[in-house]
């Protein structure tokens, strides 16, 4: 194995009677079980995630990354301790499901069916729509999303029925603008599909009811809430939690809302380049969500979603200290932008293998 080769290149002629520090270290590494992580990632994800510093740290801790060949049967490759993936497609999902059934000893991060829920922003929030956490540290709610295509169809039906009645009673016809629900004004529109592509990150802010007609479905709508122009990205890796600040959409005053019309499009919000961690912010805006609240939230989401690698976009309602909203959930986000991700992931991989070993020993004792 490549790892063994790397641990066995000490020059024998240079070794004294007592083992050199190099050979002792090599033996210690070889005595430990090498953790093999098979990965199936896009080229973009490989570049951002498997950075040289990460691979080097992982190798020093006995973790070896091996690329999965998609042109060969997955069961013929390995053996793997962990399979790490972020590929899409029905065929790939079926391959992984079959592999999980035939290789229960391998940890697959994460189950493909669980990931699929997050690829649709409507189903993403449906499974947690009734989850409203509150304790002495604050309150977290989930923003519900409405599919735009349903709203438009409903409005068109209302218009046809209304205009039919207008014809019968010789009254003026109503416009689509008048038929649109007023609760949809100042709405944040997002693509329905959340597959990690550039298009899935595009946002549109519709300032009035008429603007909804300019949006291209399939989309979901969420009511826009002022949040001080800052959102919190909460990265979750197993039980580890890391929070960073990102600049977001600016607040809109009532005066501005009365004057602004139309749709404003934003290619991407809250990317790494928009970091607000070092910005001079109002303390009431910059203050991170309380740790105990995030820990409870992460634990409940891991249970409900069946995932261990995801992040949350959270906003604090402007003018409050402890009212938070989860506006988005992403599977296997850009962890390469997360400070200290190398150490967090190496510890996570090792803990997965250790936990599985303990469970296997417990099962063997019960069988004995």
User: Residue 243, exposed/middle/buried by CB under 10 A (0-12, 13-18, 19+)?
Assistant: middle
For the cut 60, the answer to whether the pLDDT of residue 212 exceeds it is yes
What is the full DSSP assignment across 80-148? -SEEEE---SHHHHHHHHHHHHH-TTSEEES-HHHHHGGGBHHHHHHTTTT--EEETTEEEEE---EEH
Which pTM does this prediction carry? Answer: 0.78
| Cβ neighbours of residue 284 closer than 8 Å, sequence gap 6 or more | 228, 321
The pLDDT value recorded for residue 170 is: 45
Closest CA to 191 of 265, 253, 302, 281: 265
Q: Is the pLDDT of residue 7 over 50?
A: no
More confident residue, 245 or 367: 245
Choice between 166 and 311, residue whose per-residue pLDDT is larger: 311
Greater confidence, 204 or 15? 204
Question: Number of C-alpha atoms within 13 angstroms, CB side, residue 223?
Answer: 10
Residue 130, pLDDT > 50, answer yes
Nearest to 80 by CA among 40, 134, 111, 49: 40
> Is 123 exposed, middle or buried, given 0-12, 13-18 or 19+ CB atoms closer than 10 A?
middle
Residue 300's pLDDT band (boundaries 50, 70, 90)? very high
The DSSP secondary-structure symbol of 275 reads B
Q: Give pLDDT, residue 29.
A: 46
β-pair partners for 13: none
Query: How confident is the model at residue 27, as a pLDDT?
Result: 34
The CA-atom distances, in angstroms, between 205 and each of 23, 185, 208, 211 are 62, 10, 9, 9
**Domain annotation for the chain: domains and CATH numbers:** 2-116+347-367 (3.40.50), 119-331 (3.30.470.20)
% residues pLDDT > 90 (the chain): 43
Which whole number is the average pLDDT over 32-55?
A: 94
Eight-state DSSP code of residue 19: P
Using one digit for the tens of pLDDT, what is the confidence trace for 224-266?
888 999 999 999 999 999 999 999 888 887 777 667 777 777 7
Q: How far apart are CA 81 and CA 103, in angstroms?
A: 10
pLDDT confidence tier of residue 135, bands split at 50, 70 and 90: confident
CA distances from 70 to 46, 91, 103, 111, 327 (A): 15, 11, 17, 18, 34
- 134: nearest Cα among 293, 364, 314: 293
Mean pLDDT of the chain: 78
Residue 354 in tokens? 């250790």
Q: Give the lowest-confidence range in 8-22, 54-68, 83-97.
A: 8-22
* Geometric angle at alpha carbon 251, from 250 and 255, rounded to 5°: 130
Residue 176: per-residue pLDDT:
41
pLDDT higher at 206 or 245: 245
pLDDT at 105 over 50: yes
Question: What does R_g of the chain's alpha carbons equal in angstroms?
Answer: 26
- What does residue 310 show for φ and ψ, rounded to 5 degrees? -165, 170
Hey, CA dihedral for 285, 286, 287, 288, is it positive or negative?
positive
Distance, CA of 249 to CA of 228 (rounded, Å) = 8
Exposure of 127 in the CB half-sphere (CA atoms within 13 A): 20
């Amino acid at each position: 194995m490549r790892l063994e080769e790397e641990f066995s290149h000490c020059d024998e002629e240079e070794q004294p009677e007592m083992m050199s520090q190099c050979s002792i270290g090599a033996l210690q590494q070889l005595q430990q079980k090498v953790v093999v992580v098979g990965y199936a990632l896009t080229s973009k994800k490989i570049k951002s995630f498997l950075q040289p510093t990460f691979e080097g740290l992982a190798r020093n801790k006995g973790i070896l990354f091996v690329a999965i060949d998609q042109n060969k049967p997955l069961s013929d490759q390995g053996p793997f301790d962990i399979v790490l993936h972020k590929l899409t497609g029905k065929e790939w999902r079926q391959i992984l499901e079959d592999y999980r059934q035939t290789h229960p000893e391998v940890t697959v991060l994460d189950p493909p069916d669980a990931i699929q829920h997050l690829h649709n922003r409507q189903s993403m929030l449906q499974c947690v729509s009734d989850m409203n956490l509150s304790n002495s540290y604050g309150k977290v709610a989930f923003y519900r999303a409405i599919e735009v295509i349903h709203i438009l169809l409903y409005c068109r039906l209302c218009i046809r029925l209304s205009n039919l009645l207008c014809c019968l009673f010789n009254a003026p016809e109503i416009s689509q603008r008048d038929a649109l629900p007023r609760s949809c004004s100042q709405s944040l529109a997002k693509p329905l599909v959340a597959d990690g592509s550039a298009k899935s990150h595009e946002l549109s802010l519709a300032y009035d009811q008429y603007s909804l007609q300019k949006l291209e479905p399939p989309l979901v709508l969420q009511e826009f809430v002022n949040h001080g122009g800052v959102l919190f990205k909460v990265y979750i890796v197993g039980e580890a939690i890391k929070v960073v600040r990102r600049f977001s959409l600016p607040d809109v005053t009532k005066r501005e809302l009365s004057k602004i019309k139309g749709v404003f499009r934003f290619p991407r919000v809250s990317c790494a380049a928009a970091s607000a961690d070092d910005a001079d912010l109002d303390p009431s805006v910059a203050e991170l969500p309380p740790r105990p609240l995030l820990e409870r939230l992460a634990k409940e989401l891991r249970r409900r979603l069946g995932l261990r690698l995801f992040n949350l976009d959270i906003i604090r309602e402007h003018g409050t200290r402890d009212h938070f909203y989860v506006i988005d959930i992403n599977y296997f986000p850009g962890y390469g932008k997360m400070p200290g991700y190398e150490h967090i992931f190496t510890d996570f991989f090792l803990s997965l293998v250790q936990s599985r070993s303990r469970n296997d020993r417990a099962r063997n004792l019960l069988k004995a």
